[in-house]
Structure 1
Amino acid sequence: MNTKIIVITGGTTGIGFACAEYLVSLNYQVIITSRTKENLEEATSRLGNNSFGMLSDTSSLSDIDDLVMKIKKQFGKIDGLFVNAGVFKASSFEETSEELFEETMNINFKGAFFAVQKFVPILKNPSSIVLNTSIVVFKAFTNTSVYTASKAALESLSKVLNIELKDKGIRVNIVSPGVTESPIQKKSGMTDEAINNLVEHFSSTSPIGRILVPKDIAPIVEFLLSDKSLVLRNEKIIVDGGTTL
């Protein structure tokens, strides 16, 4: 039986939840985080046995400290970390405010950076870290300047981390999803009409004939967290249904 313990930041909706659900189905023990108690309780209730929820705000370093301390006390060491928590709010470059810039960077980059740093002491040897980035790093989309910068900054860490953490047996790899139908669009401020147009566009232009859904990403993340990826370092798996061909 699989006894690996995996932490997923931001695991109550979208890609994070789909990955948690998939891992639980394979008998992993999964710890998900959220800033909202209500979302956390609903998600863990749906996930059932082998799932654990912990309140934590990725943009708060003190919250990350508390999270690591609680996990260490309850579980000891963990086998993997999926750095998934993120935020996207659409805004043109010229209209981007300092507030939006700081919110995006604090969650997507600063929070991710220090989450990895603070989890290192409780990661086993060997263990896996998976960074969730995006195709925006190499394909330009309008109204995504800060989001793109935050994901590019996160990707830039991977090489350095693989070198600095190699003696601890920690490997770092990247999953780079394409446009995926999930709550992130609604949270970004997109209208229902804009979301429907997005779904229709990718359904008609993607080689797979539809827009991606969160469960499409889950098996890839599981592969990177599992022993099947023991020899991989700084690999980026693009999961976009072929839309960037």
Structure 2
Amino acid sequence: MNRESSCRRLLVFGRLPEPGHVKTRLQPRLTGEGSAALYQAFLDDAMRLPPDGVGVELWVPARPGALEQLGARYPGARIRLQPEGSLGDRLAMAFACALSEGTERAVAVGSDHPTLPAGHVEAAFDALGATPLVLGPTRDGGYYTIGAQRSVWPMARRLFADAPWSTPGLLAWTRARIASLRLDCTELPEWYDVDRPEDLDHMVRDLTDGSATARAWARLARAPATGASGR
């Protein structure tokens, strides 16, 4: 990792794309295998989001073969295992590792928004040049990205403690916590996650030619969703 990329780091949160373990709520519109294939494309597109000069890490839960398979697929990235605990615990660990290793600007992003413009991620790093925090809201009351300067860590760790994860109140809670810390924050344009079957129609309207998700969807849309099981 060169000096420029070590100063700015994108922390991608994802999973090993295994049938029955990822995007199960897209069933029965897709099969378990189809959901995993689509999520693989989501992850491929997420790993292409870093702007030039930004290092990238992929944080995933521990699963058999995860480090080997993902390391082979993304040779330019560092693959790291998420710790046990809440999403807040996992985010705090990723930021603590990056910022303790000399990174000046760290941005975390999920892998559930395959149509997210790369310009939004670039804007997040640019914003951290002027404000200590950056936040990208989602339409369901959460956020798709959060970033921090090294200068406000570990104070910013409190953004991840006791947060109402996976609820519509997360964004409002995070805004209130930022205000209580008296830290300036830049907010990016709103975007959306693809978690449910109805989200797929929105995703299709926003797909760009050449993306991994567009290619995967072109294949999956032609295949019948048979043999899917709920989860």
* TM-score interval for Structure 1 and Structure 2 normalised by the shorter chain: 0.3 to 0.5
Whose helix proportion is higher, 1 or 2? 1
Q: Report the TM-score, using the length of structure 1 for normalisation.
A: 0.40
Q: Report the TM-score, using the length of structure 2 for normalisation.
A: 0.42
